[in-house]
Structure 1
Amino acid sequence: MPALGGWEDLEERESRAGIRPGTPILLSPSRQIDGRLSQFLARSSFARLEPETKRNYTTDYCVFFDFLWSREKSWDEATPGDLWDFEDWRVRSMRNPQRVGGARWNRGLAALGRLYSWAVKQGHVPSSPIETRQGIGRHGQVVRVPAARAKDSRASNVRWLTPRTFRRWVDVGLRGFPADGAPDTAPAGRLADRNSAFANLLFSSGVRLTEGASLLTLEIPRLALRERRYYASRLAPVVTKSKRARTESVAIRLKQSTVIAPGCQERSPRRSSGCFDHAARAGLPPHRRPFSLRIRARSRRWASSTSGWRALALRQRR
């Protein structure tokens, strides 16, 4: 009997439900799936978030649902009191060895706000456990903000690096030069040129990590006959965070560093690896595979033997 006997149309059912490869699924400690949560993850505005945001939000849901589970409550039974107790445990309580800072708490609060706002509109819960207060928006308008929002959050910790220090870091840290930065005759490994070119790409153009990693050789601009300091490179909409194409400038020093290192063979842009024939990328081809959550269901036994809420992700069928 086939493993999916009677489920031959499973892929069609998933398509009708909006479930695609990479769509997260929340599994309760009792190994049950709440259809309302699955609908939220597949059909709401959550489905249009970036993969990394989905991963982070889903992890935040599991932490809060585990807290409610310890109180013998489901996610749709949460009250404002539960949320305030969760905030105290998550941020300040000595009983929690993995306390988080204000920025991390605000991220989780935004994730919960998205879920419970949707649940209230759909009629799944009578009210949201997230209390709000009046605040001033970015443009001076009056807005409603979560009352539990942390005030000590720091969105980023920027530390400036001069171009000279950056070049020294590339030479010593990625290319294997001595501490004085002098060229070393000893081989630095077959990935030294790739890694240094990729770091120079991010530094000179300002593209994001995933944007730079998605570039193909044919997308690197060619050297012109006239001497130029920067070359324009076009990023496709599918790889940008805003899903809009844009133009970035690539330094001539980076362009010259994309020459294939000696001993490396030319490879297809789709199967780039090893040398900078791939422009230093983990090589996401035009048809990119969806993300996978850190926590995966490797087998039915794994899923049944794990306690607490867990986030699973459907793998892409080959």
Structure 2
Amino acid sequence: MPAEHFHPLLDAWAGTLRARETAAAIKVDTPILLSPDHEIDPRLVAFFTSSDFSGLSAASRITYAYEYKWWFEFLDRRSTAWDFATESDFAAYKAWRTDPTLHPVPRNRQEKKWVDGATWNKCPAALDHLYRWATKKGHVQESPLPDTKAGRGAAPASAVYSKNARSERAKWVSAATYRVWRDVGVAGYRLGVDGKRLVATTEDPRFRGRNVQRNTAFTDLLFSSALRRQEGGSLLIDEIPEVGQESYLGATAKRGTVRSWTAESAALTNLARYINVTRRAAVKRAQKAGRYDTMDPIWVDHIEVRSRHGEVLVTTNGAEWPLKDIDVMTRMRLMRSRDSGVHAGPEPLWLWLGEDGLPMNPKGWGTILHRASERFKSECERLGRPNRDIILLSPHSLRFSYALFVLVVLHQAIDRKYGYSPTEPYDENRYLSAYQHVRDILGHRSTTTTRNIYLEPVKGLRGKTIIGTRDVQAAIAALALTNPEVRDIAPVEYLSEEDR
């Protein structure tokens, strides 16, 4: 940043700021928390630069930093510092974060002050990480979290976590339902009724949404790949697989576990259109405006494939990085420059760009999908549709819906292979290989997680519902009749008597 952008007292530091940060082990993505008096706690700086914190994934570092900020702000209102917090402070904080009766009724989403169970559970995980380190360093005598005082092996008590973490899980939807939601919520079509089926009709002239091609490419990708929001949202343009081929995730995946992924051909075709049209136009605008001149880029010379390390990124100064080891924040700085042709000039390797041509933060996708769901809801209300027709989707919804689709396909394949009768009770052990495959595409650690938590609609369902249906989408529609978390907007009349 040029010196004129700093306070006069800092002008002398401006030219050597990067060197000073490097000497203090402060990396580009290191959190910096200021007190209300604009002071920095050197103990927190030591924590953020320690291996205990820097060894976390990029997503966890960002999440934890915000959890610390909100915790410290709450303590400040109680005239307490973080190193003097007690169990009663933590209990009060948990109530304040999770109990809606302690807050005014919000007029909009931004005013909502409480969080659901799954979101809350990030807080004790973050605080436990901080206070374990602080106890080890002698900065605090004990942790404010229950049951974290008894030595190295202690863990937070179950009381600090919410027991309602799954109550707010997103819904699973059929492909037909997803397409109507996408066309109405993301692409700006009007909602209509064709017979007894909800459909997207014509473009709504009142729709003011932007980046439709980019946004539909993203939702299509998640719906046909089971990628998480961060995984799909932090891809590089060079990581998009050809139709029928696989690509790999590494540092951007949850826990940094390397796994393969692929996507349906229709989603990859839509993605190619975004790259060649909308994205290309955004890059040209950024080049013309000189926006890439103010970035702090890592210039990439080329990417090559090596048998031992997979794809390796080679910078213009000769440095080499396995692509799977590059975290989110570093990826956003990767640039390449071409001398001639339609792609001449500097360009980010980051796949998803804003209208200004700059890399888009993966967290922004949550807001985009929320707005799409709100638009779909308003269209349902315009038609006077019942609440059961309102579809509210999140990145999790898209991911889990694809996993459910794959699971049903594999169930049907196993049924045909072994000749299982539709009248037999559902035995999940018969379908263990199906759950194992879905575990792998979701990136879960264990089959138990996949089977008992994320794909609950299938567990315990009578075999005849899956086996007796005409096709996969009819099977998912049949699941929707027995489980309210599976959504399908096709009316019951479209199903056979047996499916009902």
With normalisation by structure 1, the TM-score equals 0.68
Aligned with residue 183 of structure 2, among 147, 166, 171: 171
Q: Aligned partners of 1:192, 1:232: CA distance in 2, in Å? A: 26
Evaluate the alpha carbon distance shift between residue 292 and residue 125 of structure 1 in structure 2; reply closer, same or farther with a 3 A threshold: farther
Q: Aligned partners of 2:277, 2:24: CA distance in 1, in Å? A: 47
Q: Aligned partners of 1:253, 1:101: CA distance in 2, in Å? A: 35
Aligned with residue 146 of structure 1, among 148, 151, 157: 157
1:255 equivalenced with 2:262 (yes/no) = no
- Greater relative contact order (Cα < 8 A, sep 6+): 1
Q: Aligned partners of 1:170, 1:65: CA distance in 2, in Å? A: 40
1:208 equivalenced with 2:228 (yes/no) = yes
1:123 maps to which residue?
138
Given that 2:248 and 2:261 are in contact with CA atoms closer than 8 Å, whether structure 1 keeps it comes out as yes
Percent of aligned positions with the same letter in both sequences?
32
1:45 maps to which residue?
52
Q: Aligned partners of 2:33, 2:239: CA distance in 1, in Å? A: 38
Aligned with residue 35 of structure 1, among 9, 18, 42: 42
184-193 or 91-100: which moved more? 184-193
Aligned with residue 235 of structure 1, among 234, 243, 248: 248
Given that 1:197 and 1:279 are in contact with CA atoms closer than 8 Å, whether structure 2 keeps it comes out as no
Q: For the aligned residues, what is the CA RMSD?
A: 4.3
For 1:211, give the aligned amino acid: E
10-19 or 170-179: which moved more? 170-179
Shift of 1:264: 3.7
Shift of 1:291: 7.2
Evaluate the alpha carbon distance shift between residue 255 and residue 13 of structure 1 in structure 2; reply closer, same or farther with a 3 A threshold: closer
Write out per-residue CA displacement over residues 186-231 of structure 1, whole angstroms, 9 at most, x where no aligned residue.
99988444332322111111112232233345433335xxxxxxx2
For 2:225, give the aligned amino acid: S
Shift of 1:116: 0.8
Given that 1:57 and 1:108 are in contact with CA atoms closer than 8 Å, whether structure 2 keeps it comes out as yes
Q: Aligned partners of 1:280, 1:13: CA distance in 2, in Å? A: 28
Given that 1:273 and 1:282 are in contact with CA atoms closer than 8 Å, whether structure 2 keeps it comes out as no
Evaluate the alpha carbon distance shift between residue 4 and residue 211 of structure 1 in structure 2; reply closer, same or farther with a 3 A threshold: same
1:157 equivalenced with 2:169 (yes/no) = yes
Given that 1:19 and 1:42 are in contact with CA atoms closer than 8 Å, whether structure 2 keeps it comes out as yes
1:108 maps to which residue?
123
For 1:84, give the aligned amino acid: A
Q: Aligned partners of 2:148, 2:13: CA distance in 1, in Å? A: 52
Unpaired runs of at least 5, structure 1 = 135-141, 224-230, 295-318
Evaluate the alpha carbon distance shift between residue 170 and residue 17 of structure 1 in structure 2; reply closer, same or farther with a 3 A threshold: same
Give the length in aligned residue pairs: 273
Shift of 1:127: 1.8
With normalisation by structure 2, the TM-score equals 0.45
Matches within 5 A, 1:1-318: 3-5=10-12, 8-92=15-99, 96-97=103-104, 98-132=113-147, 144-146=155-157, 148-155=159-166, 156-180=168-192, 181=199, 184=202, 191-223=211-243, 231-260=244-273, 264=277, 267=280, 271=283, 281-283=351-353
